[in-house]
Structure 1
């Protein structure tokens, strides 16, 4: 089973980002997804910088994938996407249908269908495979049971990836809710999300963590954690994705590697991971329940 590090969803400083990926080069990750997927206004690293980071990681033995933006809003976004597709040395994760179209038109037969394509049935998955996808990531809200049924109902034989760690990406919007929090317009946001290493937590009136604001992306407050569910995850997926967080990502990757290698039991791994979570765990979606729940089979 492969361990993948998903694209960085937050906006860190240039030096913090470069330092982070220098550590990832020596980490337990087999696959590393790179690039800006959330907001086109985030420019601490440009595409050429991401490509340079990719070359360093590839030299360290990692499979490097360039992730496309999930919400394409302008011609400049499309221009950046065309450049990503044209870089044949790295695979591409398509996160919207314009990326699928460009990859298919270019004859690329090595790309990954990302989670924001919302693939929920074997017909759509077959369409992606026919268009050149060789791996797909199940939507985080898909339950393990539904995923298993989908794969057993005539789905093509391509790699399946599952989000196993990280705050759940729940929605994207043309509006920037981080800017709105500071009474700013999106186009004059002052880059307020820069330096928020794990986003901005939104709380209920009772003070309970509810959601996380991350620019135009809304995430869960809780950390989706499938370490305790590895037995069922293994039956459906070949790749586990860990989403980067502000601290201890390398330690989390190592813990997943140890759990996959049966050097630590899933339940022990879940207990050990508690010190590295930025909030309480949840796994409800995997069990067909509300995503915020932490479900334990009796």
Structure 2
């Protein structure tokens, strides 16, 4: 059976940017060849450059361009104010929700609202995927650590669930109730002085041997390397994956999207695109998890490209 072609999606902004930068970014993204755009604060409750009402207004502007917009919920809820913002997202009726926490799943299930099961829900097996479907999920974002063969088995086991993969960007690895960026500056979490605003793409963390190891992003730990599955696009399509997620970064987003779209459209070879994309990545291209190895392993597609 002919599989639907892979479509590009844009994940939520994971970093802390100024309000005007966010607005300008989505004005630019609305003109890009993206099938779906996710919007909303997912990482830290202190990042309130945009309130829920602002996100909704911005989402309506982006949706007017013809793109499917999904509102992403916060990953780690710690207070009643966090729940209040979540309830506002669930109560609006204009956009679907990406549930990134079980509280969001519970609220959406109680209202009978179909939702996207986000990557942060950690769906690692067919049983959990089927459970999420029974609770109302119609679309899921695969966990970043899943190897190719494992993902193929899960897609085949629940074929009527739309599957999306995280295909480009620094990997969101873990979340904590502590703020690592505040700690770096010897500040308390509640008095962080919003230092994340000084690091557009996160704060790099190096080993004692000066090897790039991780990226600190407030309460979130990310990879240092840029995860890329572009060289695997035919494999993704053949196993039934529908959406290829690109994660926002501070610079070169239009170029990154253009190169991905050209490869998916068959007008450019993945190896050539990866050679060019490596200049925009902000780190080594990696795909170790996809190979069933350590996530920090270099992307094989780059080796084939001779870089």
**TM-score range for the pair, normalised by the shorter chain length:** over 0.9
8 Å CA contact retained: 1:27, 1:253: yes
**Is 1:290 matched up with 2:289?**
no
**Is 1:75 matched up with 2:75?**
no
- Runs (4 or more) in structure 1 with deviation over 6 Å come to none
1:277 paired residue number = 281
Q: How far apart, in 1, do the equivalents of 2:255 and 2:98 lie?
A: 25
What TM-score comes out, normalization by structure 2 length?
0.94
User: Pick from 183, 186, 193: which aligns with 1:183?
Assistant: 186
Query: Where do 5+ consecutive residues of structure 2 fail to align?
Result: 1-5
**Is 1:123 matched up with 2:135?**
no
Alignment of 1:3-18 (within 5 A): 3-18=8-23
**Is 1:163 matched up with 2:180?**
no
User: Pick from 41, 49, 60: which aligns with 1:44?
Assistant: 49
Q: How far apart, in 1, do the equivalents of 2:23 and 2:173 lie?
A: 27
1:24-59 Cα distance to aligned partner (Å, 9 max, x none): 011121111000000000011111111111001100
Alignment of 1:187-198 (within 5 A): 187-198=190-201
**Is 1:256 matched up with 2:257?**
no
8 Å CA contact retained: 1:228, 1:269: no
Count, aligned residues: 296
What TM-score comes out, normalization by structure 1 length?
0.97
What SS does the corresponding residue of 1:22 show, helix, strand or coil? Answer: helix
1:204 paired residue number = 207
Cα offset, 1:295, TM superposition: 4.4
Cα offset, 1:278, TM superposition: 0.5
1:86-144 Cα distance to aligned partner (Å, 9 max, x none): 111100000011100000001102x1000010111111111111211111000011111
Q: How far apart, in 1, do the equivalents of 2:299 and 2:46 lie?
A: 38
2:151 paired residue number = 147
2:110 paired residue number = 105
Q: How far apart, in 1, do the equivalents of 2:267 and 2:161 lie?
A: 28
Query: Where do 5+ consecutive residues of structure 1 fail to align?
Result: none
Output the aligned Cα RMSD: 1.2
8 Å CA contact retained: 1:125, 1:156: no
Cα offset, 1:156, TM superposition: 4.6
2:33 paired residue number = 28
What SS does the corresponding residue of 2:278 show, helix, strand or coil? Answer: helix
